[in-house]
Structure 1
C-alpha cells in the first residue's frame, strides 16, 4: 500500500524546514532516497517471495552468501551479509533448525565455525532465487537496462567510499575516541 506521504513532498518540506541552513541538499536527497529505496525493496520482497518461504531478508541474505560462496566461516558470512556475528548466530541456528544450513567446526581451528547449505537449503535457493530475481526486475521496472547498470555503479561507488574512507572519517569526527555504546532507546533502569 503506497504511503500517503510522497518522497517529493518530504523533500519539499525538508527544504522549507531547513530554510537558510547551509546544507548539501542533493547529497541529503541521495542518502535519504538510498534509505527509502532499500526499505521499500526489502519490505516488498519480504512480503512477497520471501514470505512464501518463511524467510526474513536477513535469513535470505545469509543463505545467498553461503549458496554463492559455498562453505564459509561465520565471520566472513556476517561481513558479507552486513550483520553482526551475534545476529548471524541466531539466524544460523534458526536456519539449521529448519534443515537449510549446517554448522560445523573448522577442521584445523576449533574456534572457527563453518556454514554450509544442506541439500534442502540448496533446493530452496534454487527455487527462491529465480522468484526473488523476478521481483528485483519488478521493483526496477521503471528503469531501463542501462539505467539499472548506472544505478548499480553509482551505489557501488557510495559503498566503496564508506569502505575505504569511513573509518578514517569516524576517527576524525570522534577525535580518535571509540563511539559511545548504542542504546536500545529504552529508559535507564532506576
Structure 2
C-alpha cells in the first residue's frame, strides 16, 4: 500500500523502540498483522473488484450477509457484518436507493425492520462474488492451500477466544464498570453550546 512502510521494517522498528521491555512480541505482531492485513485486503478489494459496482467494503459485506442468510432483521445484519446499527442504517439506505436491498416492517413488530435483497441485488451478488473470490485467491497467493486452511483456523480460534471470553475480560479491565460510551470522533466546537 503506498505510503506505508514495508511490514518487515515496521516490525524491526517496533523491536528497536521497545527494546527489552517486557512485551509479548509474537502476540503483538500477530494482532498488528491481523489489522494490517485486513486493511490491505479491504483497500485492495475496494479499489479493484468493488470499484466497478460502486460498492464499499461495508456495503458488500451487508449484501453478502443478506445474500447468504436471506431476509433478516437489521440488528442481526449489523451484528453479522460487524458494524453498528447506526452504520447499517446509512449503508442500508444507500443500498435501497440503488435498488439492491428492500427494507420492510417485521410482520409482528412494526418497530423492527427487515432487509432482503431485491432481484437486482441478487443478480449483482451472483455476478460479483466470483470476481470477489478471485481477489481472495490473489491476496492469499503467497500461501499454499494448507497454509490458508491453517491460517483460517488460527484466526477462527482468535475470534472464538474473544467471543467466549472477551466480555469477562472487559469487565476485569474495567473493574466491573460498564464501558464509557463511544464518541463519534467529532469534537464539539469551543463556542458551541452544550446540548
Change (3 A) 1:110 1:135: same
SS, match of residue 115 in structure 2:
strand
Q: Work out the CA distance in 2 between the residues paired with 1:3 and 1:137.
A: 24
Counting only pairs closer than 5 Å after superposition, residues 120-135 of structure 1 correspond to structure 2 as: 120-135=120-135
- Where structure 1 has 5 or more consecutive residues not aligned to the other structure, the ranges are none
> TM-score w.r.t. structure 2 length?
0.94
Q: Work out the CA distance in 1 between the residues paired with 2:161 and 2:146.
A: 23
Counting only pairs closer than 5 Å after superposition, residues 2-21 of structure 1 correspond to structure 2 as: 2-3=2-3, 5-21=5-21
Residue in 1 aligned with 2:193?
none
Counting only pairs closer than 5 Å after superposition, residues 63-142 of structure 1 correspond to structure 2 as: 63-142=63-142
SS, match of residue 22 in structure 2:
coil
Counting only pairs closer than 5 Å after superposition, residues 36-47 of structure 1 correspond to structure 2 as: 36-47=36-47
CA RMSD after TM alignment = 1.2
Deviations 1:55-92 (A, max 9, x none): 00000000000000000110110000000011101100
> TM-score w.r.t. structure 1 length?
0.96
Q: Work out the CA distance in 2 between the residues paired with 1:4 and 1:111.
A: 45
Q: Work out the CA distance in 2 between the residues paired with 1:109 and 1:136.
A: 39
Q: Per-residue deviation at 1:186? A: 4.5
Residue in 2 aligned with 1:172?
172
Q: Work out the CA distance in 1 between the residues paired with 2:112 and 2:184.
A: 29
Q: Per-residue deviation at 1:181? A: 2.9
Deviations 1:125-183 (A, max 9, x none): 00110000000000001111111111100000000101111110000000011222333
Q: Work out the CA distance in 1 between the residues paired with 2:186 and 2:118.
A: 39
Q: Work out the CA distance in 2 between the residues paired with 1:77 and 1:187.
A: 29
Q: Work out the CA distance in 2 between the residues paired with 1:111 and 1:187.
A: 32
Q: Per-residue deviation at 1:4? A: 5.6
Confirm or deny that 1:55 pairs with 2:55.
yes
- Where structure 2 has 5 or more consecutive residues not aligned to the other structure, the ranges are 191-195
Q: Work out the CA distance in 2 between the residues paired with 1:166 and 1:155.
A: 15
